[in-house]
Structure 1
């Protein structure tokens, strides 16, 4: 049985966001040694917002299908598990590929596992380029086959 794993920390966007945070911290250095109180306030605000962003950045998620469970783990820097939530396959009824329209750039494709009562497990998302659509469709079909759940096809999100 092949295990399916989707890690945010292995995606280029996660690394680029970390580099942007470092550059933003370096750029804000003049704000922490000001001559005026107003600049000190902006420096405090700037670094508080960067600290908050760094906390969110440092806790990427990982989604897995283990053969009997869907598992979501929050990982410290993508390495150390901090929080784990596991749900059995029996809690879900189908695998679906959902398109989420974007205002700028290609739409986003989500591989979702849906259950009764609106229960959903978002397994992975990608931009809806030709290559991204092919990869997401392949992942959705493979996940459906491995889990024994039916593949419901592609849905355009109305929201």
Structure 2
């Protein structure tokens, strides 16, 4: 039985984002010990927005295919499961590789399990570079074979 796992914490962007958040916290230090009220307001705003960003950053997702179900887990720092949602393979009818156009940079490729009534399970996304396209196509075909769902091919998202 093949098992596929896609974790956000294994992507370099997640770690770079954490470093950027730490640097933003360090950079904002002068805002929390101000001489003027205006700077205190900016400090409160700065750290409130930073705290909100840290909450989203600290809860990356993990998607997996277990052989009989597609599972999405929200993990605290990528280690401790906080929320789990499981959907059986029977809830989906096909695997699709969807292209989402980007204004700047390469497009984004999504490997999706599509069900009836517009339900979808986004398994993995990657930039549409030459290597990224080949890896996503391979993943979509392997996921289709392992799940028994047909691979519908690549679709260009109209918006």
TM-score class, shorter-chain normalisation, is over 0.9
Moved segments of 4+, more than 2 Å: none
The C-alpha deviation readout for 1:78-104, integer Å capped at 9, x for no partner, is: 000000000000000000000000000
| 1:2 Cα deviation after fit | 1.9
Is structure 2 residue 122 aligned with structure 1 residue 122? yes
Paired with 2:67 and 2:81, the residues of 1 have a C-alpha distance of 20
Q: CA RMSD in A?
A: 0.3
- Equivalent residues in 2 for 1:2-151, closer than 5 Å: 2-151=2-151
> Which secondary structure does the structure 1 equivalent of 2:126 belong to?
strand
Paired with 1:36 and 1:132, the residues of 2 have a C-alpha distance of 50
For structure 2, the residue ranges without an aligned partner over 5 or more in a row are none
| 1:44 Cα deviation after fit | 0.2
For structure 1, the residue ranges without an aligned partner over 5 or more in a row are none
TM-score, structure 2 normalization: 1.00
Paired with 1:143 and 1:17, the residues of 2 have a C-alpha distance of 29
Number of aligned positions between the proteins: 159
